Structure 1
Amino acid sequence: MEKLLLYVEIHQLKEQGFKIAAIAKKLNISRNTVYKYLNMNFDEVSEWVISTKSRTKKLDLHHDLILNWLKEHPDLSSAQVEDWLKEQYPTIKIGSSTVRGYVSELRDIYHIPKVVRIRDHEAVEELPMGQQVQVDWGEITVKNQDNKQIKSYFITFVLSHSRYKYVEWMDRPFTTKDTIRCHEKAFQFFGGIPKEIVYDQDHLITVSENAGDIILTGEFQAYKQERGFRVYLCRKSDPQSKGKVENVVKYVKMNFAKNRVFPNLESWNEKCIAWLKRTGNYNVHHTTKKRPVEVHALEKQHLTQVSSLLSFESNHVNSITRTVHKDNVIKYKSNRYSLPVGTYRPRGDNTVYLEIQSEMLIIRADLEGEILAKHPLCHGKGVLIKNKQHTRDRSKGIQAYKETIIRQFNDQEKALKFVNEISQRYSRYVRDQLQVIQYAITHFRPQIEEALTICINEQLWSANDIRDIAQHLTRLKEEKDVSTVSVETKQNNTASHATAAKREIEYYTNIIRGVS
């Protein structure tokens, strides 16, 4: 009946003088459909409508299966339906347009609407073969075999020219070491390394962009130098810079992962590689109108050949980063590990670095810096692993604690000014601040007076600042002593030696104050 009504409407509009394009626009149909109806008389269209009702379709054999999928997952796309059919029936031969039409018809008959979200993009020029790979991370919540929701994380790579893709999944957030390992596997999958790799400003590979001077994490910087590719950082959600990989992230979520049951990580990754072979890298790309797998066969020749896999255990330091929480703990593998009270900085950088050595968790202030804490590695979940030495000193009140700190300085007038100032600025963390000062006095006593003077002169009102400056002065003195001994030894051997210049303390205080 709907087709007969459409036939009548088209002929009425034609008689009223509407052009073909105007009729198509008004009725929201294609111009080919308008031509088809205008070339038929009423008897012909009636016979055609009757024939369509009795005519069988290729996908009618799978009608119930597809309908159940749509009812269970109303947001299922026709592309995903096509992939699921190919997964269950590897020998099926079906076109994408056939699936789209069949799914659309089922949605109309059974009233299963699908919300379509539109995002604006700007076209960019295609890059030459072997020029670029784009990389991004994603996560999605799926259900396992027990019907429980779990979060899965993935990293995806796509060659910008051929659109050839690689994906790897994990059941926990990625670390820098995981990221490097996945790069190696992607290069093996692609058959080579491109000249340039595009990333977000992700904390796994970058510290900061520093006004155009990219500062990479120590581990990733070493890896980049060893493999010899260029790094390009772009803003998040920037379709002009990395729109290809953003589309791949969405494609992986919506076509592969969404509504799929998660059995286990190994099987999930195997299914994803099979999906890449069957769909992700095989289907004709909508923009290039070519199959990525076929274009990749040519692009592969323009990639730099990959040497043997790197030995990460021996060549790279495990630089897992975590953020210190306000209760002075870090979280690692669903457990909490304590840090000395005062480690957390209310207005500072609270990033620390973790290292695993012989079932011990080592927490450092920086990659090769001071060890803040050591804990036995816990293999349970939800456990608080706490060192009793990390607790607050509650043996005396705040005022008594202040007086104890001040008496340990030679210039008690400056010490009083400093302690009073931090008490006002860190009213909720006074005891923590005092404990950090006590730590600095205990460990760096020869330099603590000079550090106090520098803090007051430079208006640096934080216990962490006085500790860091005292520590730096101690290191300078140790380096100077070593250098003096070395020079004297070489002078005795009648050999000259030039020592490296040392930066003045103002250089470091300016860094702390944020002065360039």
Structure 2
Amino acid sequence: MYMEIHQLIKKGFSKTQVAKKLGISRSTVYRNLKRSPSDMAEWVESIQTRSKKLDPYKKIILSWLREHPDMSAAQVEDWLKEKYEDLEVGESTVRSYVRELRKQYHINKESSPRIYEAIPDTPMGEQIQVDFGHTKQKAVDNTEVKLNFIAFVLSNSRYKYKEWLDRPFTTQDVIKAHENAFNWFGGIPSELVYDQDSLIVVSENHGDLILTQEFQQYKESRNLTLHVCRKADPESKGKIENVVGFIKHNFAKHRVFHNIDSWNEQGWEWLNRTGNYKIHNTTKKRPVDVFSLERQHLRPVIKNLDIKYNYENSISRSVHKDNTIRYLSNRYSLPLGTFGKYETVCIKETEEKELIIYNHQTGEIIAKHNIPDGRGILVKDRKHSRDRSKGIAAFMDTVAQQFKDKELAFEYLQIIKEKYPRYTRDQLQMILKETKANDPEILSSALKECRKRNLYSATDFSDVVSYLKRYRQTSDTLIIDNAESVPSISHISNWILETEAQKREVDTYTAILEGESK
């Protein structure tokens, strides 16, 4: 362009004519005419060597592109923001940087585009579209796991919600997902649009829908208006089709699966970070911004459901091994020991925003919690926590009782506690194991040796016990109170080095020699 501008000027073209002929602005013409060839050469060289904002992340971006050639620039942007929360970078910056890397390192993008037909936007609060999807993910143990999800999208604002399961959905799961979605959106729309899924629809009798019994009861209790698309008619729910594809290719693709709870939590974080925050390609607006207006047009969620079956008892939650349950993206604590006692518990949300957790068989109330406004919160009752200081003290007393000199043992364990405050319980468990497997005299002797030589750890105690056991096997007598009876030990490593070599039968060597002679 620089050479063309100068050549046209030499031929007699005016600056305005040069700008029109080359399709550039007049200011660009003026700027290039002011530069000498040497200045231009230096400027071009500086452009080529100038550092870019994403250069510090070049290595990791390249590793992603090489491992996943079909990865989009939008997914690269999401992964960067997930891994580096403080990174602020524009969408176009990431797109151009990924394009340059693909060109420089010859990484062609693999793609399989799908065509969607645009449909007019519905009024605010008018419609939510719902659909199911599934993916196959690589787990941490390198196995493949099939995951299923249900997705919701408000047709006007494109505000989204989704839930995952590591098993097939049941009708009850679908109902629970609807309740969670309505709480996420803060209301119910005038119409819900579905595909002909067997969890919701039994059949379509010439336009008259026959719903499953459970979903029919739920529809009546929530006073929902349903619209079910005809088969092979994706145009009627094109927005949710796009959302399903977006979830598969931006969130789930190439992501490693650990467990279903962490997967759902990552999914909700993705919705807030990307799914509902990123500018929509069609509306050119952020869904979260438009949703703040559309939310006002939704019908409020009624807490008490008037339904024919006991819906309250059907809301159950699995008890996790950390003695918590999950409800509306939050975790709620249970008393210690609940995990081994119950597999599932039932929950009830009161009008005062209190969550009651109870045993569905006996009606016994297990815990009560106030429901917070946010998400991703651990709601914990202090009564459900272990009194760790009391537990350690009692454990120390239990271990000390195994020794003849209980006071000396307790003093020894107290020093171990001060030396290993974070691992006291592990140290005590190891010493307790030794006390159950060995003679009291051996233990007393080992305790005195450890005190004498300032060896304050469970590993050292175990090594001393092992050494003394071997020594007693070779000696007829063991005088505990006489320190001279114990052989001179300069360092713990000497005890460890005193090991007995493996002994083989003579026939073994005979067989080997005969084999070699052949």
| Contact kept in structure 2, 1:136 and 1:200, CA below 8 Å | yes
Measure how far apart 1:238 and its partner are.
3.6
User: How far apart in 2 are the matches of 1:147 and 1:248?
Assistant: 28
Among 276, 295, 314, the residue aligned to 2:310 = 314
Measure how far apart 1:115 and its partner are.
2.7
Corresponding residue number in structure 2 for 1:199: 194
Determine whether 1:75 maps to 2:64.
Answer: no
Measure how far apart 1:309 and its partner are.
6.9
User: How far apart in 1 are the matches of 2:180 and 2:191?
Assistant: 17
RMSD: 3.4
Residues 106, 173 of structure 1: CA spacing in aligned structure 2 closer, same or farther, 3 A cutoff?
same
Among 44, 49, 56, the residue aligned to 2:51 = 56
Amino acid at match of 1:69: W
Residues 165, 54 of structure 1: CA spacing in aligned structure 2 closer, same or farther, 3 A cutoff?
same
Residues 226, 171 of structure 1: CA spacing in aligned structure 2 closer, same or farther, 3 A cutoff?
same
State the structure with more CA Rg: 2
Residues 98, 37 of structure 1: CA spacing in aligned structure 2 closer, same or farther, 3 A cutoff?
farther
Deviates more, 1:272-281 or 1:221-230: 221-230
Corresponding residue number in structure 1 for 2:236: 241
Corresponding residue number in structure 2 for 1:291: 286
Measure how far apart 1:8 and its partner are.
7.6
TM-score for the superposition, normalised by structure 2: 0.53
Corresponding residue number in structure 2 for 1:208: 203
Residues 168, 40 of structure 1: CA spacing in aligned structure 2 closer, same or farther, 3 A cutoff?
same
Measure how far apart 1:76 and its partner are.
1.0
| Contact kept in structure 1, 2:159 and 2:288, CA below 8 Å | yes
| Contact kept in structure 2, 1:162 and 1:296, CA below 8 Å | yes
| Contact kept in structure 2, 1:10 and 1:23, CA below 8 Å | no
Measure how far apart 1:37 and its partner are.
9.2
Measure how far apart 1:212 and its partner are.
1.2
Amino acid at match of 2:244: V
Amino acid at match of 1:294: D
User: How far apart in 2 are the matches of 1:253 and 1:23?
Assistant: 47
Residues 37, 109 of structure 1: CA spacing in aligned structure 2 closer, same or farther, 3 A cutoff?
farther
Determine whether 1:162 maps to 2:157.
Answer: yes
Amino acid at match of 1:315: Y
| Contact kept in structure 2, 1:200 and 1:235, CA below 8 Å | yes
Amino acid at match of 2:97: Y
Corresponding residue number in structure 2 for 1:266: 261
Determine whether 1:174 maps to 2:154.
Answer: no
Among 141, 147, 156, the residue aligned to 1:152 = 147
Moved over 6 A (4+): 6-13, 31-39
Among 119, 139, 142, the residue aligned to 2:137 = 142
Measure how far apart 1:39 and its partner are.
7.6
Where in structure 1 are there 5+ consecutive unaligned residues?
A: 1-5, 25-30, 319-516
Measure how far apart 1:122 and its partner are.
3.2
Amino acid at match of 1:164: Y
Determine whether 1:100 maps to 2:95.
Answer: yes
Task: Please list the CA deviations of residues 177-225 of structure 1 after superposition, one character each: whole Å capped at 9, or x if unmatched.
Answer: 1111100000000000001001111111111122211111111111111
Corresponding residue number in structure 2 for 1:189: 184
TM-score for the superposition, normalised by structure 1: 0.54
Corresponding residue pairs, total = 305
Deviates more, 1:221-230 or 1:235-244: 235-244
Residues 305, 134 of structure 1: CA spacing in aligned structure 2 closer, same or farther, 3 A cutoff?
same
User: How far apart in 1 are the matches of 2:29 and 2:173?
Assistant: 59
Among 227, 232, 235, the residue aligned to 1:232 = 227
Residues 10, 142 of structure 1: CA spacing in aligned structure 2 closer, same or farther, 3 A cutoff?
farther
User: How far apart in 1 are the matches of 2:304 and 2:80?
Assistant: 37
Residues 156, 260 of structure 1: CA spacing in aligned structure 2 closer, same or farther, 3 A cutoff?
same
SS class of match (1:261): coil
User: How far apart in 2 are the matches of 1:9 and 1:47?
Assistant: 18
SS class of match (2:92): helix
User: How far apart in 2 are the matches of 1:231 and 1:315?
Assistant: 20
| Contact kept in structure 2, 1:219 and 1:316, CA below 8 Å | no
Measure how far apart 1:103 and its partner are.
0.5
User: How far apart in 1 are the matches of 2:127 and 2:40?
Assistant: 54
User: How far apart in 2 are the matches of 1:298 and 1:86?
Assistant: 27
| Contact kept in structure 1, 2:69 and 2:110, CA below 8 Å | no
Corresponding residue number in structure 1 for 2:439: none
Measure how far apart 1:47 and its partner are.
3.6
Residues 78, 237 of structure 1: CA spacing in aligned structure 2 closer, same or farther, 3 A cutoff?
farther
Amino acid at match of 1:202: D
| Contact kept in structure 2, 1:11 and 1:38, CA below 8 Å | no
User: How far apart in 2 are the matches of 1:46 and 1:221?
Assistant: 74
The residue correspondences of 1:472-511 to structure 2 (distance < 5 A) are none
Residues 163, 312 of structure 1: CA spacing in aligned structure 2 closer, same or farther, 3 A cutoff?
farther
Task: Please list the CA deviations of residues 65-121 of structure 1 after superposition, one character each: whole Å capped at 9, or x if unmatched.
Answer: 111111111111111111111111111110000000000100011111113444333
Residues 35, 155 of structure 1: CA spacing in aligned structure 2 closer, same or farther, 3 A cutoff?
farther
| Contact kept in structure 2, 1:193 and 1:303, CA below 8 Å | yes
Residues 93, 219 of structure 1: CA spacing in aligned structure 2 closer, same or farther, 3 A cutoff?
same
User: How far apart in 1 are the matches of 2:235 and 2:48?
Assistant: 47
Measure how far apart 1:314 and its partner are.
2.2
| Contact kept in structure 2, 1:136 and 1:157, CA below 8 Å | yes
User: How far apart in 1 are the matches of 2:144 and 2:26?
Assistant: 48
SS class of match (1:241): helix
User: How far apart in 1 are the matches of 2:260 and 2:24?
Assistant: 48
User: How far apart in 2 are the matches of 1:135 and 1:204?
Assistant: 13
Residues 209, 65 of structure 1: CA spacing in aligned structure 2 closer, same or farther, 3 A cutoff?
same
Determine whether 1:217 maps to 2:212.
Answer: yes
Measure how far apart 1:239 and its partner are.
4.3
Task: Please list the CA deviations of residues 420-455 of structure 1 after superposition, one character each: whole Å capped at 9, or x if unmatched.
Answer: xxxxxxxxxxxxxxxxxxxxxxxxxxxxxxxxxxxx
Residues 236, 290 of structure 1: CA spacing in aligned structure 2 closer, same or farther, 3 A cutoff?
farther
Task: Please list the CA deviations of residues 213-267 of structure 1 after superposition, one character each: whole Å capped at 9, or x if unmatched.
Answer: 1111111111111111211111456443111111110110111110011010000
| Contact kept in structure 1, 2:279 and 2:287, CA below 8 Å | yes
SS class of match (1:107): helix
SS class of match (2:226): strand
User: How far apart in 2 are the matches of 1:232 and 1:135?
Assistant: 10
SS class of match (1:58): coil
Residues 114, 33 of structure 1: CA spacing in aligned structure 2 closer, same or farther, 3 A cutoff?
farther
